[in-house]
Structure 1
Amino acid sequence: MARMSAEERRESVIRAAMSEFARGGYYGTSTEAIAKRVGVSQPYLFRLFPNKQAIFLAAATRCMEDIRVVFEEAAKGHEGVDPVEAVEIMGAAYMKLIAEQPDKLQMQLQTYVTVAAAEAAGEPAFGEMVRTAWMELWDTVHVPLGADVNETTTFLAYGMLVNTLSAMGFPAGHRVWDGCYPAVRPQEAP
């Protein structure tokens, strides 16, 4: 079996960190748990990343980028469609992502919680990164939604509602989903 390069090992750490931070959050996740999941020692972990904050920022950045790419890929080939159709296409792609990869939803939510806690503690690095990633997400969905600020705001607001309802475990078909666009509701099993 070939040995992993430092870059491959770094990727393994980011994936493991996303899973661990998704479950325990920044403050409840130890670097020991991340190292154990990857199968490396903590000293090796800190050769790849200078500290826990850097690991979290890499995981949060990856999570936000993965979500942004889902929207970008969903919109490809649908340029110039009606904004309602764009909402349906991108909303369905996002619902599929969080249904198939629930760690993405949990990591996203943990990222927002960490920003709030870190900002309150006077640590702005988390907020700066997340705000930058959020603006990239905004820009990615803005054009397919007709470059309309209200459409973009509404789409992202529904997305945050979807995040909240999903995180609370409301099942498909529950009445709390009734006010959401059909594309941004979980689908009931056939």
Structure 2
Amino acid sequence: MSADERRESVIRAAITEFARGGYSATSTEVIARRVGVSQPYLFRLFPNKQAMFLAAAERCLVDTRQVFAEAAEGLKGEEALRAMAAAYQHLIVDDPDRLLMQMQMYAAVAAAEAAGDHEFGESLRAGWLEMFDDISLALGADVDEATSFLAYGMLINTLTSLGYPAGHRIWSGFYQSARSTA
């Protein structure tokens, strides 16, 4: 396996491990074990644990952007919005680690900021802004629509994280609100 392939394996493993354990509670030893490499080898691929976490978080954002782009391809307005919403729902249902990684990302950045480390979240904020811009463009460069879409997405993240299944009554208000604002 090449170094690039091994690096990719580490990023995938890091998404799973950080998603489930968070930044602070996840050891690089666990990631190395999941990949089947030594811990020192990890540090040849990444300078430190923070770099591994950021690579995993950035990949999560890139993959989410790709899901939105593929869903909205060739569509406009309401059709694009519905397609992106459905694709995102499939993403977090089919791969719950993606949602968990997002939630861990927000928690890790907040903790770092509270501790005075303002650089930790810079690349993640940049990635999130790129996602916002992509969504805005897919929705006809409508900033309000993009804001609403992401606001409802955060609601979906919260409800899903709390364990509400898609058929639960709490979702009915969301679907009604989404229809009336779209």
TM-score band, normalised by the shorter chain? over 0.9
Distance 1:144 1:46 in 2: 39
Q: Provide the residue aligned with 1:137 in structure 2.
A: 131
Cα deviations by residue, 1:68-97 (Å, 9 ceiling, x for unpaired): 11001111111xx2x222221100010011
5 Å-filtered alignment, 1:100-139, equals 100-139=94-133
Q: Give the one of 45, 51, 55 matched to 2:52.
A: 55
Length, aligned pairs only: 177
1:17-56 superposed matches below 5 A: 17-56=14-53
Structure 2 residue 163 is the aligned partner of structure 1 residue 166: no
Matched, 1:180 2:177: no
TM-score (normalised: structure 1): 0.90
Task: In structure 2, give the amino acid aligned to 1:140.
Answer: D
Question: What is residue 5 of structure 1 aligned with on the other side?
Answer: 2
> How far does residue 61 in structure 1 lie from its aligned partner after superposition?
0.4
Counterpart amino acid of residue 150 in structure 1: D
SS at match of 2:138: coil
Are 2:9 and 1:15 aligned?
A: no
Q: Is the 8 A contact 2:67 2:88 kept in 1?
A: yes
- Give the C-alpha shift of residue 129 in structure 1: 1.2
- C-alpha deviation, 1:178, in angstroms: 1.2
- What's the secondary structure of 1:123's corresponding residue? coil
Unaligned runs of 5+ in 2: none
Deviation for aligned residue 1:171: 1.2
1:109-145, Cα deviation, whole Å (9 max, x unpaired): 1000000000111112321111101111001110121
Q: Say which structure is richer in helix.
A: 2
- Is the contact between residue 72 and residue 81 of structure 2 (CA under 8 Å) also seen in structure 1? no
- Aligned residues of 2:61 and 2:127 also touching (Cα < 8 A): yes
| Alignment match, 1:187 | none
Correspondence for 2:62? 65
The one-letter code matched in structure 2 to 1:86 is A
Structure 1 portions without partners, runs of 5+? 185-190
Percent sequence identity is 65
What is the CA RMSD across the aligned residues, in angstroms?
1.2
Deviation at 1:63, TM superposition (A): 0.5
Calculate the TM-score normalised by the size of structure 2: 0.94
Tell me the SS of whatever aligns to 1:97.
helix
CA distance in 2, matches of 1:181, 1:154: 13
Counterpart residue type for residue 125 of structure 2: R
Partner residue, 1:188: none
